[in-house]
Amino acid sequence: MIGIFLCLKFSIFIPMNRKDQVIVIGGGLAGLTSAIHLAGQGIYVQLFEKNTYPTHKVCGEYISNEILPYWNTLGIDVNILHPTQLDEVQISTKKGNILHSTLPLGGFGVSRYSLDHHLYELAKASGVVIIQDQVLDVRFDTNKFLVTTKSNGLFNAAYVIGAHGKRSGLDKTLGRPFIQRKSPWLAVKAHYSGIFPDNLVALHNFEGGYCGISKIEDDKINVCYLVNFESFKKYQNLNDFQDQVLCANPHIREFFEQAHCLFDQPLSISQISFDRKSLLHNHIFLVGDAAGMIHPLCGNGMAMAIQSAQLLCQILVNSFKGETQTSEAIESAYKKAWKHQFSKRLAAGRILQSIVLNPYLQEFGYAIGASFPATIPGIIKQTHGKAILC
């Protein structure tokens, strides 16, 4: 009853005729970054997030340094979270053959548990109205949006930003095409204590998938792996799969033999889709994983989520200043900017994933990388962007 009252209270007392009102659906990296950016420009923002903070999320927890200049302009300082600095990558084939390289731009490791909570606090301090509720439906009617929530709230806005993640019940309600297709991908993540280099991102291949290992804050180690469900379903549980499939790679086995899991149980999510997604749906702007996912082996998903927020918010801020007048022009500008920044990265990610998941191409790629190690940073650059300047 209290939740219903609060939502009705918000919908009654928020000025319903504000032309600068924006609703953000989802409080992950893209959603919170969008909210902080817009609120910093004096735009009224409501953000809806169904979960509480802090919470763990299935994620590789590595962010490319390319986003730091942009975050700095927003007053986001991740150094207070004491992230690890990552500048080397190690890649192994299923057989255990291994390659080493530097990361051209470098990156940092920080848990989503700490990072999302930090951004949440910054968003509140920036004046963003954050409402813990689940958005069930969004309708566009006569140049405004009507947003319905689980607690019977009804809200309106000039613009809606969909930052609701990889796969959501809202996608089904909206009838987005990708949600109708089953995806074979399952992801599993947990934190560990143990021995692992502070500056290293390891990417180890196994039958049907690959596993990323890297340090985060507080000397913890994040382990996140992606696997095809066909490979996983032969086993009774995660432990059996880990012992018999992941640990067939000697480097993964060596890690797990000395590491201790800090979670009661690993977290997992299924039906992860890498299909092409629309950037707009019924005039809703989509950012982050809701707009499209790069394959995790590229290590650029978190940076892309943040940069997609930056691309959209710059366009929206300009429109509020009167530089872009029509909704059609705004939508066209966003699609053009997004495709310019990310299309080549996504294509490179699809090619790399097809190579990595093919045992023969995997070993052939290893042979090329071992013979010509200078090619590896160049390949990494194809899946990453340059430092984001504002």
Report pLDDT digits (tens) over 90-135: 989 888 989 888 888 899 999 999 999 999 999 999 999 999 999 9
Please report the pLDDT score of residue 377 as a whole number: 63
DSSP SS3 for 231: helix
- What string of DSSP letters covers 352-383? HHHHHTSHHHHHHHHHHHHH-TTHHHHHHHHT
Predicted confidence (pLDDT) at residue 40 exceeds the cutoff of 50: yes
Per the model's pLDDT, the better-predicted residue between 112 and 356 turns out to be: 112
Query: 51-65, 331-345, 352-366: lowest mean pLDDT where?
Result: 352-366
Cβ proximity of 256 and 262 under 8 Å: no
Right CATH number for 2-181+273-382 from 3.50.50.60, 3.40.1190.20, 3.30.565.10, 1.10.3480.10? Answer: 3.50.50.60
Predicted confidence (pLDDT) at residue 354 exceeds the cutoff of 80: no
Domain ranges of the chain: 2-181+273-382
Report pLDDT digits (tens) over 248-291: 999 999 999 999 999 999 999 998 888 888 999 999 999 999 99
DSSP 193: E
Predicted confidence (pLDDT) at residue 383 exceeds the cutoff of 60: yes
Strands 154-157 and 22-25, by their bridges, are unpaired
Look at the chain and count its residues: 390
Mean pLDDT, the chain, integer:
87
d(CA 212, CA 62): 10
Please report the pLDDT score of residue 275 as a whole number: 82
Residue 338 sits at the vertex; the CA angle it makes with 278 and 336, to the nearest 5 degrees, is 90
Angle between the 327-356 and 375-382 helix axes, to the nearest 10 degrees? 140
Strands 129-132 and 45-49, by their bridges, are parallel
Cβ proximity of 194 and 252 under 8 Å: no
d(CA 206, CA 95): 8
Strands 98-109 and 84-92, by their bridges, are antiparallel
Query: 173-177, 238-242, 299-303, 335-339: lowest mean pLDDT where?
Result: 299-303
Cβ proximity of 211 and 203 under 8 Å: yes
DSSP SS3 for 84: strand
Unique residue bearing structure tokens 């019977």 = 152
